[in-house]
Amino acid sequence: MKKFWKPPFSVNEKAKKLILTMKLTVFIVFLTLMQVSATVYSQATKFSFRAENKQVVEVLRQIEDNSDFRFFFLREQVDVERKVTVTARDATVEQILEELFRGQPVSYEFANEALIVLTRSDNPLGSVNSYLQGNLQQPAVSGKVNDSSGQPLPGVTVVIKGTTRGTVTNADGEYSLTNIPEDATLVFSFVGMRTQETTVGDQTRINVTMEVDAIGIEEVVAVGYGVQKKVNLTGSVGVIDAEKLENRSVGRLEQALQGQVSGLKIVQTTGQPGNEAIDILIRGKSTFTDNPALTLIDGIPSSINQINPNDIESISVLKDASSTAIYGARAAGGVILITTKKGKTGKPRVSYDNYVGFQQPSRFPEKVTAYEHAILFTEGEMNDDPNRTTFKYTDEDIARFSSSDWADHNWAEAILSDALQTQHNISVSGGSETQDYYVSGGYLYQDGIVINTGFEKYTFQYNQNIKLSEKFKLGFNGSFISDKRTAPSEASVPGDGNVRGVIHLMDRVYRWGNTIPFKTPNGDWATVEGGLEPSAIGINSEEGGQQILKRKKVLGKFNLDYSITKNLKLTGIYGINWEQNRQRDFSARMKFYDPDNPDDVTWDNSENALLITNSSSNYQNSQLLINYDKIFDAHSVSVLAGYTREWLYQDSETVGRRDFLTDDIYAISAGSADRASWTTAGVASDWALASYIGRISYSYKDKYLAEAAMRYDGSSRFVEKIRWGFFPSFSAGWRITEEDFLKDNDILTYLKLRLSWGQVGNQNVGYYPFADILAIGEYYFNNAVQKAVYTPITPNPELTWETKTGSNLGLDGNIKNGLFSFEFDVFKERTEDILLNVPVPTAYGKPAPVQNAGIVDNKGWELELGHRNSLRDFSYGITFQISDATNKVIDLYGTGPWIDIANNNITEEGHPMYEWYGYKAEGFFQSEEEVQNHSFQAVQTGPGDIKYQENGGNPNTITPDDRVRLGRSDPRFPYGVRINLDYRNFDLIAFGQGVMSHKVFNNGWTAYNFDRSYSTLFKYHLDRWTPETPNARFPKTRIGGSSLNAQFSSFWLENAAYFRLKNVQLGYNVPQNVLTKFKLERARIYLSGENLLTFTKLLGFDPEIPTGTTTRLVEKRYPLSKIYNIGINLTF
Amino acid sequence: MDQPSSETFWNSAEDAEMWVNYLYNSLPDFESVLREDWSDNGFHQSISIIAAGRHTPSTNYVEREWDYETIRRCLELFQNIEKIPNISQERKNELMGQARFILVFTYFEMMTLFRDIPLVKEPLPIEESDIPKSPKQEVLTYILEQIDMAINELPVSLTASQSGKITKGAALALKARMLLYNERWEEAAAAAKQLMDLNVYELHPDFGELFISETDNKTNEIILAYQYVKTVKEHQLIRRLHAIGNGGFSQVTATPSLANAFECIDGLPIDESPLYDPENPFENRDTRFYETFIFPYQTINGFYYDPLDPANWLSLTFLHFRKYINDIEKGKITGDSNWILIRYAEVLLTYAEAKNEASGPENSIYDALDLVRLRAGMPVVDRDKYNTKEKLRMLIRNERRVELSVEGGGLRYFDIIRWRIAEEVLNTIVTSFEVPGKLPKNNLDTWVFDPNKHYVWPIPQSAIDKAKNLEQHPEWQ
């Protein structure tokens, strides 16, 4: 709210603790304080003290602290910072005020017996007075404000919303206001408490209970199978509330979570709408296996993307093993709990949110021009073979590329464009004594920044809780999501040799030089490089066909609560997560022409093709839970026990035909009847899990906290005799500020120490590696397909889950009631029985079996800092979070080091996983002599090539023995900063995120100097070695030459540390008088942007897109977007 | 569970047959055309890594040839087939014979490239599989035993429904090839003779027809071929071989050295024949020349080949290979002609070479060579001119090169390695095919062959990294 009022001071003990007080240094002599009749209070209350060189405000506060008097003033009118020296001896308040304001244009007036209003005497009709006129003469509403423990709360500001009129509560927490307009809303605010709003309506008496805000005494967070007061948490749980997700123009929830919670690392690898690949990692990598975080929406496991972010009330990120142990064998990667919104008691409340904006590519490297390309290529040909007499680009070509008639063929420009993004959201919520409801509908439209891509999504959420009787409560949470993704076709005719799809398109756009036309002069699609392939733009455009994926998802949960006694509750839950997908992929007939002889068809896709894939998955979950909660004097006990069963079944079938009569028929039967050209495929899989869960929590005076939890899981993924696993955890907490010696201090509002230990598992061993499965292949005799089989894996029937044992130490604190806050965690975890494909000697002749073999340690820390404050009508908050996690391989079952040549990394006991491994570059050779004096590298090596460090082995030759560790491959120190500012009707939110250290291998067609003869280079490659530029960034230009500079070496490792301004929102709240006119409760318009600024040293590419190892990843990826939006939020 | 498991497998002869069928996938397929650029026959447009001596233990070409997976699958068959109840001895022999052939083929190629390699004779448990290299001779001894067993097990002929399967003839031909490569001349000649005496195989009357899909499995010349089937499984040789302007990659083009190895139609080498005109070098040549190359200013399937047309900029040597892609229509980039692995002409040439090395010129050698030459429309061997072992050797070697280029997966490379002539033919600057006044002589690449190193391939680094007892060859340390 916009604070017009300087909040007055208070004397109440409780309030004193909560109020943001400045330390007073005046000495106090406190004489008498007599509570007499109201009319004589001012005369009967006497003060004795001396204040020397103190601000007026400090003196006023002194009086307030020692009496029931409240002062009320505007800083604009009364100079309270003026220093004075005052001596009072048995003085009345009036005498003191006379003394204080002697010679000042200040007058005072008793608004009631204890409220004294100070105003400028030369401005007697100022705003304060005018307010007082109305306030005092026509009382219309009055009431009492209590805190949650029932104690009256003095000093609470009560304002009529949208006006500058208001009052403060007196020592008994009482207030009264007059001249209340129709449809008025009262806003109750008090520093350290959550601001509350109440509609007046016909009421004349409104009592309010304020809740503590800053340290969230009452705030509850979702934990496994229940909720817990945040202050009583003993594990490590990060919380993201709805506010932090508001108005983010992201297609997927994960994007909005990035950088919000320490220890939660989110990496988006492609930007294709509806197909974003997003990795979530909680507390870094602690195993070699796939170990995703378990996500649950309202208690039912689900994909994290199966929700409209607008429907989220809060998200809990369970990080340590004690918080997650109750999820047992699936919890080793951490757990994310999403809670959806719930209706609140009151009249129906309708909210509408909308934004519209456009997206642009965030970062896209610029290629060299055609002319530069030809010059560089020729230079490379000369460098590779000085005897060469013929070159790819003739002098005429080069002259043509440099002439003013020549226009570069800019592939990137041809496929990229600004794209529209918009979202509408409407929700209705409300409730009564017996039920509450929340209903919402959402629509997202995201056009792609790349041709032929786009996404649309409809979401519905329906939540309702009904109190059937005193004993029975019924709840329902359900969502339905329907979306549609459009992308280039990938349905190639078998054997037509065409590669298609977004990845192919991006690959070619990065790779082809500006010398290469994608259309002929006639405007037809061209083949490239003399018929090598059809232009990727043509084949992936809408003319080439389209892949349309339509998904429908239903997530539903029923729960029935039965309160057997006041303390004992039985809950039955049934949840379902159902998904049905249908993908229709159609590629059209197309002709491609020779750009030099534009009438000549050089590529004829004479057959069209249709592939239809239907897939479905059906997950069911049933739970029976018993809760027992009881408070015995100072002891509080809570017990949970339960049994759950889960099943998943999924399947998928693909059918395809080709050679359809026209390009418009989308039914399979319309295709060729030649069975040899049909495609069919299908897979299915299932698993089941049965589990017993239990938890007991105990607290003594909310001061000493202890908890034990366990899960006993039986998984169908393992053979019967080793199917069951037990996962225990213990944790304890100490709320130090509840101790008597700290209870009443003014500085430390809250301090808690947490300690936990637990074990969790990872059951992601794939589907049935214990069985020696057979794979089906084929061979051909007599021109006919013959069935063929082989065993693709080495089975391991003894396989069981990985077990992670972790401990966590945490310290949470809050200073001066929210002025500063911090959460600090250190953790250490060891994962044992890691599923390893322990490398086996090649003579074994089969892939390595998966074994429970490895041990990896992971340790790290997380820090979150917060600061918030308000200065007059300006309030702000800053949160900063940073974390780090480092792993170390302890045991590889006696094997290793594992050198992964394809991925250029090494894993060895005693070192982090996947360290870079290759030659150490020592700059460039500058002379033939230097080449001769150095270890032999290759026959062709010469000046301008990269020099590799000799490290033993054969001392005269650079061999694989000379490879060394080149540093960690995983990013370090992910961090995030969030700033909120509120000034009058304006608010500003800025949120940024980054990593502090990351070495990446930016490999691609274009990373090296002409990696292939079919690739181009980027502008930054112009900075290459020549005899004239010996200190260039890049070695001398070469074509291919995989044994030369393109070998993996430290030279190609780049620094991809970055900071990115993820989101900025500038909002304006429409003033109350306008709102009233349109019968609105809230209206806000805002401008926002995503990914607006990026700071990084990485050349060319987006630092968030992880660069590749084997495959040329970076150059196959859909660029991330920058988004500019304008939006509104309305509430009726 | 979405896949069947092997616990319920090995119950019937059909199970074993499906297993054997899969093994065929490991035979060299059309991609092995890329082996042509290991030798002086082919030039790779990007980089001839092997021919140019640029390979290292980590080069993927090297990694790719190290194939113990196939070896294990063959050995597992021998082990598991015993579990099958009610399988007839005849069926069992036939299946084991095929697996044995593939086992031997795989070992033989690895041994030829890598020399000493780990020798695995039964499926090993993991803990026993860290084994050192065995000397090449030991591997050879083992696979000769195995191929003899296969020869006994396999049938001489197949029913039509089995066409494409391995036969006794294939095993005999492989045996002859193995003995030839290892200079066991008498035995090689004997094995070849044994095959010739089966009276099953004969040369197909038309050389060019061998490489079109019409002929697939219909001629008695082809002893074994990797099978392709129209629309179901097609090869992409046109991409590998053809000119850019006609849908190809020009990945491997033919070297002038190969082209010059073709005699003129009069049976004389180009430097001796009066018919050879350097300004019209594509006239009056061995008929096989026209089936082997697409040469400049020729029209093939409606595509006029002009190597200097900028659209064909990757026609680096100006000569493209033609085998296997002759019957592919313009605008199509796949074909279904089988990829020949062994044919009767090779066996005849093997016989000729082995016999000549063993005993010097004799009539049976001339006869074998004449069969090959006459089929190509070439004159018979000039007995007077090629009257010594050495002279005849040169003719036989040239005949092998001309007859068998592009086929079988790198036969020329194996030849120049075993003849120890690689340092002569590979230490060279590769050029384009010069036609005075028409086509320039462009220097394309400089190849280096180090005889102290390059006659053996390095053990792949990934294999070294995974085993403690496997050591790199001294040449590569």
Q: Which residues of A1021-1040 are buried (b: 16+ CB within 10 A; e: fewer)?
A: bbebbeeeeeebebbbbbbb
| Residues forming a β-bridge with A837 | A850
Taking the Cβ of residue A789 and every Cβ of chain B, the question of whether any pair is shorter than 8 Å is answered with yes
- Let me know: does A799 contact A850? Beta carbons within 8 Å: yes
Beta-strand relationship, A545-563 and B429-431? unpaired
pLDDT, tens digit (0-9, with 9 covering 90-100), for A495-528: 555 678 888 898 888 888 899 999 999 999 998 8
**Do A771 and B1 count as a contact with CB atoms less than 8 A apart?**
yes
- Let me know: does A856 contact A787? Beta carbons within 8 Å: no
Sign of the dihedral through C-alpha A736, A741, A745, A747: negative
Please give the residue of chain B at the shortest CA–CA distance from A392: B313
Q: Report how far residue B91's alpha carbon sits from residue B16's, in angstroms, rounded to the nearest whole number.
A: 10
**Do B49 and A1042 count as a contact with CB atoms less than 8 A apart?**
yes
DSSP-assigned states of every residue in B353-407:
HHHHHHH---HHHHHHHHHHHHHTTPPPP-TTTS-SHHHHHHHHHHHHHHHHTT-
Q: Which two tokens stand for residue B166?
A: 């391995």
pLDDT, tens digit (0-9, with 9 covering 90-100), for A882-935: 999 999 999 988 777 888 877 888 999 999 999 999 999 999 999 999 999 998
Write the secondary structure of B381-393 as one string of H (helix), E (strand) and C (coil): CCCCCCCCHHHHH
How far is CA A396 from each of CA A371, A374, A909, B460, rounded to the nearest angstrom? 11, 11, 59, 45
Q: Which amino acid is at A795?
A: P
Q: Which of residues 123-152 of B touch A (CB under 8 A)?
A: 123-124, 126, 129-131
**Do A601 and B462 count as a contact with CB atoms less than 8 A apart?**
no
Q: Report how far residue B275's alpha carbon sits from residue B280's, in angstroms, rounded to the nearest whole number.
A: 10
Backbone angles phi, psi at B352, to 5 degrees: -60, -45
Q: Which of residues 507-546 of A touch B (CB under 8 A)?
A: 529-532
Please give the residue of chain A at the shortest CA–CA distance from B226: A780
Beta-strand relationship, A905-907 and A915-918? antiparallel
Q: Report how far residue A79's alpha carbon sits from residue A58's, in angstroms, rounded to the nearest whole number.
A: 12
Taking the Cβ of residue A243 and every Cβ of chain B, the question of whether any pair is shorter than 8 Å is answered with no
pLDDT at position A138 over 70: no
pLDDT at position A193 over 50: yes
* Closest Cβ opposite residue B22 in set A390, A789, A899: A789
Q: Report how far residue A223's alpha carbon sits from residue A216's, in angstroms, rounded to the nearest whole number.
A: 16
Count Cβ atoms within 10 A of the Cβ of residue A39 and give its class: 0-12 exposed, 13-18 middle, 19 or more buried.
exposed
pLDDT at position A454 over 90: yes
Q: How far is CA A1041 from the centre of its chain?
A: 42
Q: How far apart are the first and last CA of chain A?
A: 18
Residue (of B477, B474, B418, B473) closest to B114 by Cα position: B473
Count Cβ atoms within 10 A of the Cβ of residue A1069 and give its class: 0-12 exposed, 13-18 middle, 19 or more buried.
buried
Contacts with B247 from chain A: Cβ below 8 Å: 531, 602-603
pLDDT at residue A31, as a whole number = 26
Please give the residue of chain A at the shortest CA–CA distance from B460: A842
pLDDT at position A425 over 90: yes
CA distance A671 to chain B (A): 15
Q: Which residues, given as ranges, of chain B have pLDDT below 50?
A: 1-2
Taking the Cβ of residue A791 and every Cβ of chain B, the question of whether any pair is shorter than 8 Å is answered with yes
Q: Average pLDDT, stretch A712-728?
A: 89
Q: Which domains does chain B have, with CATH numbers?
A: 9-32+46-203 (1.25.40.390)
pLDDT, tens digit (0-9, with 9 covering 90-100), for A981-1015: 988 889 999 999 999 999 888 766 556 666 656 78
State the virtual CA torsion across B306, B310, B314, B316 in degrees, nearest 10. 60
* Closest Cβ opposite residue B249 in set A397, A532, A953: A532
Task: Round the average pLDDT of chain A to a whole number and report it.
Answer: 84
- Let me know: does A83 contact A54? Beta carbons within 8 Å: yes
On whether ipTM exceeds 0.95, the answer is no
Beta-strand relationship, A568-587 and A527-528? unpaired
Q: How far is CA B322 from the centre of its chain?
A: 16
How far is CA A526 from each of CA A88, A448, A1019, A1116, B328, rounded to the nearest angstrom? 96, 24, 26, 21, 22
The answer to which of A169-173, A598-602, B9-13 has the lowest mean pLDDT is A169-173
Contacts with A676 from chain B: Cβ below 8 Å: 230-232
CA distance A899 to chain B (A): 7
Q: Report how far residue A545's alpha carbon sits from residue A509's, in angstroms, rounded to the nearest whole number.
A: 19
Taking the Cβ of residue B49 and every Cβ of chain A, the question of whether any pair is shorter than 8 Å is answered with yes
Backbone angles phi, psi at B98, to 5 degrees: -65, -45
pLDDT at residue A579, as a whole number = 95
pLDDT at position A317 over 70: yes
Q: Which two tokens stand for residue B79?
A: 């082990």
- Let me know: does A463 contact A471? Beta carbons within 8 Å: no
State the best of B465, B475, B477 to mutate against chain A, taking most chain A CBs within 10 Å.
B465
Find the largest Cα–Cα distance for chain A. Answer: 119
Can the peptide bond before residue A152 be classed as cis, meaning omega within 30 degrees of 0?
A: no
How far is CA A700 from each of CA A232, A638, A640, A808, rounded to the nearest angstrom? 11, 12, 18, 22
**Do A597 and B227 count as a contact with CB atoms less than 8 A apart?**
no
Q: Average pLDDT, stretch A782-809?
A: 89
* Closest Cβ opposite residue B233 in set A596, A780, A901: A780
Please give the residue of chain A at the shortest CA–CA distance from B232: A676
Please give the residue of chain A at the shortest CA–CA distance from B335: A495
DSSP-assigned states of every residue in A632-665:
ETTEEEEEEEEEEEEEEEEEEEEEEEE--SSSS-
Q: How many CB pairs under 8 A join A and B?
A: 253
* Closest Cβ opposite residue B18 in set A532, A789, A1042: A789
Q: Report how far residue B426's alpha carbon sits from residue B447's, in angstroms, rounded to the nearest whole number.
A: 6
Q: How many residues does chain B have?
A: 477
Q: Which of residues 253-272 of B touch A (CB under 8 A)?
A: none
pLDDT at position A552 over 90: yes
pLDDT at residue A65, as a whole number = 79
CA distance B192 to chain A (A): 26
Beta-strand relationship, A237-241 and A294-297? unpaired
Q: Report how far residue A20's alpha carbon sits from residue A268's, in angstroms, rounded to the nearest whole number.
A: 42
- Give one word for B220, left, alpha or beta, with left for phi > 0 and alpha for psi -120 to 50: alpha
Contacts with B332 from chain A: Cβ below 8 Å: 604
Other CB atoms within 10 Å distance of the CB of residue A343: 21
* Closest Cβ opposite residue B164 in set A532, A780, A839: A780
Taking the Cβ of residue B47 and every Cβ of chain A, the question of whether any pair is shorter than 8 Å is answered with yes
**Do A601 and B331 count as a contact with CB atoms less than 8 A apart?**
yes
CA distance B247 to chain A (A): 5
Q: Which of residues 386-405 of B touch A (CB under 8 A)?
A: none
pLDDT at position A190 over 90: no
Contacts with B217 from chain A: Cβ below 8 Å: 782-783
